[in-house]
Every structure is written in structure tokens, then in C-alpha cells.
Structure 1
Amino acid sequence: MIRKTYAFLASLSLGLWLMGGVMALLAAGSFVGGEQSTLNAMPLFAWLGQAPFAASWWLWGALVLLGFLVLNTVLCSVETLRQGWGERRLLQLLAPQLMHLGFLLIVLAHLLSARGAEKEAMEVAEGSVLAFPDGSSVRVTALTATPGPMGMPADFSAGIVATEGGRRTAATVRPNHPFFHNGIGIYLKHVEPFPFPVGYVEVHREPGAGWALAGALFFTAGNVALLSVRRGRPLAG
């Protein structure tokens, strides 16, 4: 009985069914309204703690299936290493493990952000100061909007000066070019030039960002290695 249960939990078929279940629940959740509108404005676990079950059932279900998918991934890796050790080339053996590791790190990253992420949106003017709990600050020195041919803003930017421990760092923030201050991202969303320059910024803290990047790199490396093995041209080394 234990051996059959272990084989079931480590099977590829279970992993495929779990992934399908997660996608189905997330698709169903996209049709849920009401409380879901605030989901992107706060950490996931904080939202789950206050949202009624009628609005959050799909997320609870997805989290349960993801938990089983993590277990399935770990057991699948253990079985692959146990059965393939000494029978396969090193790259052929490690390629799927790199992908598995990447997936597990991405899940860890989302769990960390779901618990400890912070997000705040605000309007700022030239001279506004963003103060942080560690005593450092970021001051907005300039707000600029460049009009396009139709009169709508084609580009906008914010000049800032970060102050920490007597040291000052000047930078320019643009859309898709945020400024990171002690792990906290400052994103410029819009600048309204009239009647006086006003900017709209979002301040993000994502404790899982580094783990997500590491997971993406491992997952990409695993895909490249697997592609090399499938083509019959192993990577050098």
C-alpha cells in the first residue's frame, strides 16, 4: 500500500493532472468578481485572510494542488536520480532536475512575496520625500512629461535623490526603468504636467524577487540542457 501510494505521488501522470487542475481553477477564478478586485493591492495571504470563501475558493484549491505538485516534483526528482544514476550521461540526468529546481524556487519566491510583500501607490510633486523605516529617504527633484504629436504624453520621467547614512545617490526613473532602494522598487506610472507637475508612483517590496530570478535561470538552463540532449549534441563540459 505504501509503495503504491509513493509510486502514485511520484508519477508523471499525477503531475500533469495537478497542473491541469491548477490551470482550471485559475481560469475559473478569472470569472469571480467582487472581492477579487483588491487581490493585486495586497499580499496574497493577507487577502486570503479577509476575503470570504465564496470569492477565494479557487485560490485555496489552487494552493492545495500546488502543494501536491511540489511534493510530486520532489519525489519525481528523487526517483529520476535513483533510477538513472550511473545509466545516463550527466547532462541527460541533470537537465530535468534543473527544471524541477527552478520550479521549486519560483514557488518559494511566490510564497515569500505572498507573506511579506508590500505595495503602496501615491501622488508626488517636485520636492516630495519618501521616508523609509530605516531612516533613509528618497526625494523627488524633478518631474518631466514629453508630449507626443497628438498632445498626449509620449514619455515621462522623475529625477530622484536617495539619501542613506549621509550618502546621496541621484537617479532617473522612467516607465519600465524603476529605481531600487534597499530592495524596495520605486516605479513611475504617470506624470501629469498641468497645472503643475504631479507624478503617480508605486512603491513595491518583493522579498521573493531574488528567488524568482534564480528559479527562472535554473529553469531556463534546464530547458537548454534538455534541448541539447534531445538534439544529440551535449553542451561542452
Structure 2
Amino acid sequence: MLTRIYQSLASLCLGLWLMGGVMALLAVGSFGGEEAAALNAMPLYVWLTRAPLAASWWLWGTLALLTLLTINTILCSIEAIRLRFGKSTLPALVAPQLMHLGFLLIVLAHLLSATGGAKEAMQVYQGSSIGFPDGSTLHVGPISVATGPMGMPADYRAQVRAVTGSRVEEGTVSPNHPFFHGGFGVYLKHAEEHPFPVAVMEIHREPGAGWALAGALLFTAGNGMLLALRRERR
């Protein structure tokens, strides 16, 4: 009985069905309306605790399938190493495992960001201060807006100064150029100078960002190795 369960969980066919199920549920969730759209404004598990089951059932289902897919990936790697060790070349043995490890690290990254992430938008003025959990403070300095020939905003930026005890860091926040402080990213979303300088900033914390990058690099490396191996065989 246990052997049959193990073989089923380690099946490549099961992995393909699980991936298809995940994509189907995510496709259904993309039509979730305003309640599902709120997911983009807060960490995953915060939204799950607040959203009614009628709006979040597809995401609970996705998490269940991803849990099974994670188990399937680990067991597939174990079986591949057990069956092919000493029977195939090292690159042919390692390449799929790099892809599997990359996938697992990406799953871990999303789990970390879903549980420990933060996202908050706020309106700030020149002279405003933003407090952080570690006791440090971010002070907002001059806010400037550059206007284009048509009178529309072409660029905007804000000077910021982070104070942690006796340590002071200064920088500039502008679109696509955030300011990072204490594990948080400070993003400038919009700014206006009239009737007085004001800006909209978003504070993000993504503890899984580094793991996601590592996973993506490993997954890409594994794919590259497999393509090279198949090219050599031809």
C-alpha cells in the first residue's frame, strides 16, 4: 500500500496533471473580479485570511495542488538519482535536478513573501516621516515634478533620508529607481507640485526575492544544460 502511494506521488504523469490543474485554477481565478483584484495590494496570506471562501476557493485549491507538486518534484528527483546514478553522464543526471531545485526555491520564495511580506501605499508630503519596525525613520525631502512640452508630468522624484540611530543614508526615489532600507523597498508611484508638493509612495518587503532569483538562475541553468545535451545527441 505504502509502495503504491509512493510510486503514485513520484509519477511524472501526476506532475503533469498537477501542473495542468494549477494553470486551470489560476485561469479561473483571473476572472475573480474586484475581490480577487485586491490580492495585488497585500501579501498572499493576509488576503486569504480576509477574503470569503467564495472568492478564494480557487487559490486554496492552487495551494493544495502546489503542495502535492512540491512533494512530487522532490520524489521525482530522488527516483531519478537512484535509478540513473552511475548509468548516465553527470550533466545528464544533474540538469533535471537543477531545474527541480530551481522550482523548489521559487516555491520557497513565494511562501516567504506570502507569510512575511508587506505592502502599503501612502501619501506623503515634504517633511513627512515614515517609521519602520526596526525603529528607524525615513524622512521625505523635496519633491519635484518635471513637466513635458504638452504640460503633462514627464518625470518626478523625491529626496529621502533614512535615519537609524546615528547612521544616516540619503538617496533619491523616482519611477523604476526605488530606495532600499532595512529590507524594505520604497517606490515612488506618483507626485504633484500643485497646489503643494505631494507624492504617493509604496513600501514593499519581499523576503523571498533573493530565493526567487536563485531559483530562476538554477532553473535557467538546468534548461540550458538540457538543451546543450540534446544538441550534442543530434
Query: For the superposition of Structure 1 and Structure 2, which TM-score range results when normalised by the shorter chain?
Result: over 0.9
Amino acid at match of 2:129: V
Relative to structure 2, which stretch is displaced further, 109-118 or 74-83? 109-118
Matching residue of 1:88:
88
4+ residue runs of structure 1 moved beyond 3 angstroms?
A: none
| Alignment length (residue pairs) | 233
| CA RMSD in angstroms, aligned pairs only | 1.5
3-state SS in 2 of match to 1:186: strand
Query: What is residue 28 of structure 2 aligned with on the other side?
Result: 28
Tell me which residue corresponds to 1:169. Answer: 169
Q: Which amino acid aligns with 1:182?
A: G
The runs of 5 or more residues in structure 1 that have no matched partner are none
**Aligned residue in 2 for 1:8:** 8
Matching residue's letter, 2:201: V
Q: Deviation per CA, 1:159-214: give whole Å up to 9, x if none.
A: 11111121211111111111110101101101112112111100011121221121
Aligned match of 1:64: 64
**2:230 maps to amino acid:** R
Give the aligned partner of residue 98 of structure 2. 98
One-letter amino acid matched to 1:207 = P
Q: How many percent identity over aligned positions? A: 64
| Contact 1:26–1:59 (CA under 8 A) maintained in structure 2 | yes
Distance 1:25 1:31 in 2: 10
CA distance in 2: counterparts of 1:206 and 1:216, whole angstroms: 16
Deviation at 1:48, TM superposition (A): 1.4
How far, CA to CA, are the matches of 1:194 and 1:226 in structure 2?
Answer: 57
Taking structure 1 as reference, are residues 199 and 34 closer, same or farther at Cα in structure 2, changes over 3 Å only? closer
Which residue type is aligned with residue 107 of structure 1?
A: V
The range that moved more, 199-208 or 28-37, is: 28-37
Is it true that 1:193 corresponds to 2:193 in the alignment?
Answer: yes
CA contact (8 A) 1:32 1:55 kept: yes
Q: Which moved more, 1:141-150 or 1:51-60?
A: 141-150
Correspondence 1:44 to 2:51: no
Normalised by the length of structure 2, the TM-score is: 0.94
Shift of 1:34: 4.3
Note if contact 1:118-1:204 (Cα within 8 Å) is conserved in structure 2.
yes
The one-character-per-residue Cα deviations of 1:47-74 (angstroms, maximum 9, x if unpaired) are 2122211111100110111011001100
Could you tell me which amino acid in structure 2 is paired with residue 7 of structure 1?
Answer: Q
Alignment-derived partner of residue 115 in structure 2:
115
Return the offset for 1:89.
1.4
Distance in structure 2 (CA, Å) of the matches to 1:28 and 1:156:
38
